[in-house]
Amino acid sequence: GEDVEQSLFLSVREGDSSVINCTYTDSSSTYLYWYKQEPGAGLQLLTYIFSNMDMKQDQRLTVLLNKKDKHLSLRIADTQTGDSAIYFCAEGDYGGSQGNLIFGKGTKLSVKP
Amino acid sequence: EPEVTQTPSHQVTQMGQEVILRCVPISNHLYFYWYRQILGQKVEFLVSFYNNEISEKSEIFDDQFSVERPDGSNFTLKIRSTKLEDSAMYFCASSGVAGAPLHFGNGTRLTVT
């Protein structure tokens, strides 16, 4: 079945760039998402990319998509302590399932001062 | 910014009891969803709802579960005869149109004892 995989942990120093990686299996994915979850909070939509795009930049966030390798990454420039959270990669296929997103297990980002 | 609100934030119930988890989606959204996250596991799709009917459901969403939009603002998930393994964080989400990103609430943590 469809699957999304992420590494579980990432630790960086404040001011450095963070790169969170994700791989997925569904070749018919239409949208790929990054959600952020802070302790005790819900899933906050950070950014998303259409499968026909290679890159999307939004302020400190850069999303890169390699559709051939089914690899998605999220780069956070100038990482701050407030960026410490769990980051979830998710994929959706709107040609098929409406709103049935497949999530990864999440990457816990720790930012050290 | 409009947001999805869920109540209660934490619900404790005894095995065999019925629970109703409540959600108020973003007001002009038309598509509604429930997801759950068992501790340490992935966020999983349960059900999607559009035009007053279920549009898709997962294998998890069996006869024990039901959803309802009782009025113009609320969207509820009912779990009949709860089991220990129903303990999880339940997330409600909504989107404005088909294919638009999902906006999630902060979740309801359900603990079945």
Instruction: For chain B, say whether A43 makes contact (Cβ under 8 Å).
Output: yes
Q: What is the pLDDT of residue A90?
A: 93
Among A57-71, A84-98, B6-20, which stretch is predicted with the lowest mean pLDDT?
Answer: A84-98
Over the stretch A19-56, which tens digit does the pLDDT of each residue have?
999 999 887 777 899 999 998 788 999 999 988 899 99
Residue A60 and residue A47 in contact, taking contact as beta carbons nearer than 8 Å:
no
**Cα pseudo-dihedral B13, B107, B49, A26, rounded to 10:** -120
Q: What is the pLDDT of residue A28?
A: 77
Amino acid sitting at position B88 = A
Say how many CB pairs under 8 Å bridge A and B: 62
DSSP lists the bridge partners of residue A43 as none
Distance, in Å, from the CA atom of B102 to the CA atom of A82, rounded to the nearest integer, reads 23
* Residue in chain B nearest A32 by alpha carbon: B101
Q: What are phi and psi of A27, to 5 degrees?
A: -75, -10
With 0-12 / 13-18 / 19 or more C-beta atoms within 10 angstroms meaning exposed / middle / buried, residue A61 is middle
**A45/B44 CB distance under 8 A:** no
Distance, in Å, from the CA atom of B76 to the CA atom of B4, rounded to the nearest integer, reads 13
Distance, in Å, from the CA atom of B113 to the CA atom of B99, rounded to the nearest integer, reads 38
Q: Best of B43, B53, B56 to disrupt the A interface by mutation (most A CBs within 10 Å)?
A: B43
Residue A96 has pLDDT above 80, yes or no: no
Q: What is the pLDDT of residue A92?
A: 85
Alpha carbon A59 to its chain centroid, in Å, reads 15
For residue B35, list chain A residues with Cβ-Cβ distance below 8 A: 101
Over the stretch B76-105, which tens digit does the pLDDT of each residue have?
999 999 999 999 999 999 998 877 888 999
One-character DSSP codes across chain A: ---EEE-SEEEEETTS-EEEEEEE--TT--EEEEEEE-TT---EEEEEEETT-SEEEETTEEEEEETTTTEEEEEESS--GGG-EEEEEEEE-TTT-SS-PEE---EEEEEE-
Residue A98 has pLDDT above 70, yes or no: no
Residue A95 has pLDDT above 70, yes or no: no
Distance, in Å, from the CA atom of A90 to the CA atom of A64, rounded to the nearest integer, reads 14
